[in-house]
Amino acid sequence: MLLTVTGTGPRSRARALAAALRAAVRDGTLPAGTRLPPSRELAADLRLSRGVVTEVYGQLLAEGYLTARQGAGTWVAELPGAVTVPPPAPPPRPHSGPPPTDFRPGLPDLSLFPRAAWSAAQRQALAQLPDAALDYPDPRGLPRLREELARLLARRRGVAVHPDGIVVCAGVSQALTLLARVLHARGHRRIAVEDPGSPPQAPLFAAAGLKTVGVPVDGEGVDVAALRATGVRAVVVTPAHQFPHGVVLSAARRSELLDWARSCGGLVVEDDYDGEFRYDRAPVGALQGLAPDQVAYTGSVSKLLAPALRLGWVVPPPALLEELVEAKRTADLGTSVPDQAALAAFAAGGRLDRQLRLCQRAYRARRDVLVAELTAAFPGLRVSGIAAGLHVIAEFPAAAGPRARLERAAAEAGVRLRHLDEYAISKGAPSLRLRYVLGYAHLREPVLRAGVRALAARL
C-alpha cells in the first residue's frame, strides 16, 4: 500500500500509520469493503515491526474504521459519508432468440485455437529460456523463432529469406506501421493501397505521416497502369487473395507489378494475411520470392491461430532491414520473448502445420456449404473470390434488391452483412449492385445454413 509512515520510534511510527490509514479511509483511497493486507505483509512492505501493525489494526478496529471477520482478515468498515467499493455489475442478461449470424470477414474460428498445445508450448518454452533471455530482447526477434519462421516461410510460401532478414513484430499491422515510418524517414509522403481494401490502413498510415492513395482492383488484381499513373513509389497489395475482392493476382499482373517496382525504385508491400488458405490447388507462392529487393513481405498468426496473440513478421528488402530494426526498437524495444519462444516451440513441434491442415479442412467445408446454400436460395446469385481465404463475395440477383430492402431483411433475419462499399477507399456514390463480403471461417455449418435460409425466408 502506498502509505507514508515516518517517525523515529515504534510509538511515533504507530501514530503515523494510524493517521495515514484513517485519512485513506476518510478520503476514499481505501473505500469501504477493501480488504487490508495481512499484518505480516504490511509490516514487511512498510518496513515496520509486525507488532506496530497489529497494534494499529487493533486501534482502528476499536475506533470503527476497520472490521474483522473471523478467519477472513481485516476490512475497511462502512463509515457514514465515506466512499464504498461499488458492487460488481450484474452479469449481462443472456441473449434471447437465435444468435445473429455475423458474416464478418477476416475472423478465423477462435474455438479451433489449440489451447492445450499452446499452453504446452508456453510451458516448454519458459522452462528452456535462460534467465538472460528475460532481459530486453533483440528487436529483430528471438533467433530461434526467426530460424523456424525462415524455414516455414521458405517451405510454405516460397519466401527467400535468411533468419537474420526477418523482423518479428505485433502482426501485419505493426509491420505496416514500421515500414511506413521507414518510408517517411526516406522522404515518402504517400502510399498506394488497393481500392477496395482494408479501411483501417488509412489511419495507420496517417499516424506515420503517409497519405493513402487508392488504386482500383479488377478481376486480375491491382491495376498496375493506374498505380504507375499515381506517381507514388510504395504500394500495399494482397496478392494471394485480394482483400476484400478475393481475386488472386494474375501471373501477368505479378510481373507487371514487379516491373513497375524495378523501373521506379518502388517498394511493394506484400500483405500475406490469409495466403495459406488456398482450397482448390496449391497456394500461389509469395511475390517476395521473385523479387526480394523490391518486396517487403509480411504475415502473422492472426488467421491461423488467433488475432489476440499479436505475433507476426516482416521480411523487408535487405536495403531497408537496418532502418526497420531501428523502427522496431524505437516502437517498443521488441516483442514479448516468452510469446516468441512459445511460437517457436509450437512451430518446431509441427503444430503450425497440423493447425493449418485442421483449419483448411474446416474452412473449405464451410465455404462449400455457404456457396451451395447461397446459390440454392438465391437463383442467379454469383459468388467470387472462393479459391482462397476466409471470405467470399456474393452478388445477389437484382430481384433481391434494392439494397435498402435486402439490408432491412438481413437485419430482421438476424444476419449481419457488409456491402463491398464499406471497403471502398475513395468514397463515391453508394453502389446499386448487391455485392456483399461474407466471412465464413468462424461460422459452423449449421449456423451458415440457418443464416442463409433465414435471410431467404425473410426476403
Ligand X SMILES: Cc1ncc(COP(=O)(O)O)c(C=O)c1O
242 binds ligand X (CB under 6 A): no
139 binds ligand X (CB under 6 A): no
Q: How far is the CB of 41 from ligand X (least distance, A)?
A: 41
Q: Which stretch binds ligand X (CB under 6 A): 56-64, 66-74, 165-173, 321-329?
A: 165-173
Q: How far is the CB of 339 from ligand X (least distance, A)?
A: 14
Q: 10-26 and 50-63 helices cross at what angle (nearest 10)?
A: 40
Nearer to ligand X, 24 or 304 (CB): 304
108 binds ligand X (CB under 6 A): no
Q: CA 118, CA 4: separation in Å to the nearest integer? A: 44
Q: How far is the CB of 401 from ligand X (least distance, A)?
A: 27
389 binds ligand X (CB under 6 A): no
198 binds ligand X (CB under 6 A): yes
Q: How far is the CB of 72 from ligand X (least distance, A)?
A: 45
Question: Residues 325, 328, 330, 331: what is their CA dihedral angle, to the nearest 10 degrees?
Answer: 170
Of 57, 103, 260, 273, the residue at the interface with ligand X (CB under 6 A) is 273
Pick from 152, 170, 163, 122: nearest CA to 313: 170
What number of residues does the chain have?
Answer: 459
Q: Hey, which residues between 222 and 241 contact ligand X (CB under 6 A)?
A: 238
Grid-cell match 448487391, residue found: 434
Q: Which stretch binds ligand X (CB under 6 A): 10-18, 139-147, 166-174, 323-331?
A: 166-174
171 binds ligand X (CB under 6 A): yes
294 binds ligand X (CB under 6 A): no
Q: 76-82: long-range contacts at Cβ-Cβ below 8 A with a sequence spacing of 24 or more?
A: 76/25, 76/30, 76/31, 76/32, 76/33, 76/34, 76/36, 77/25, 77/32, 78/32, 78/33, 79/25, 79/26, 79/32, 82/25, 82/26, 82/28, 82/31, 82/32
Give the ranges where 109-223 is alpha helix by DSSP (H).
Answer: 115-128, 143-157, 171-185, 201-207
Q: How far is the CB of 358 from ligand X (least distance, A)?
A: 20
3-state secondary structure 13-75: HHHHHHHHHHHHHHCCCCCECCECCCHHHHHHHHCCCHHHHHHHHHHHHHHCCEEEECCCEEE
**What does residue 306 show for φ and ψ, rounded to 5 degrees?**
-165, 140
Nearer to ligand X, 243 or 277 (CB): 243
Nearer to ligand X, 101 or 302 (CB): 302
302 binds ligand X (CB under 6 A): yes
167 binds ligand X (CB under 6 A): no
Of 57, 118, 243, 378, the residue at the interface with ligand X (CB under 6 A) is 243
Nearer to ligand X, 243 or 260 (CB): 243
Q: How far is the CB of 233 from ligand X (least distance, A)?
A: 21
Nearer to ligand X, 74 or 212 (CB): 212
27 CB-contact burial (10 Å; exposed 0-12 / middle 13-18 / buried 19+): exposed
271 binds ligand X (CB under 6 A): yes
Of 38, 199, 307, 401, the residue at the interface with ligand X (CB under 6 A) is 307
Grid-cell match 477493501, residue found: 34
- How would you classify the pairing of strands 211-218 and 221-222? antiparallel
Q: How far is the CB of 5 from ligand X (least distance, A)?
A: 48
Read off the C-alpha cell for 40.
505480516
Nearer to ligand X, 53 or 314 (CB): 314
Where do contacts with ligand X occur on this chain (CB under 6 A)?
A: 106, 171-173, 198, 238, 243, 271, 273, 300, 302, 307, 312
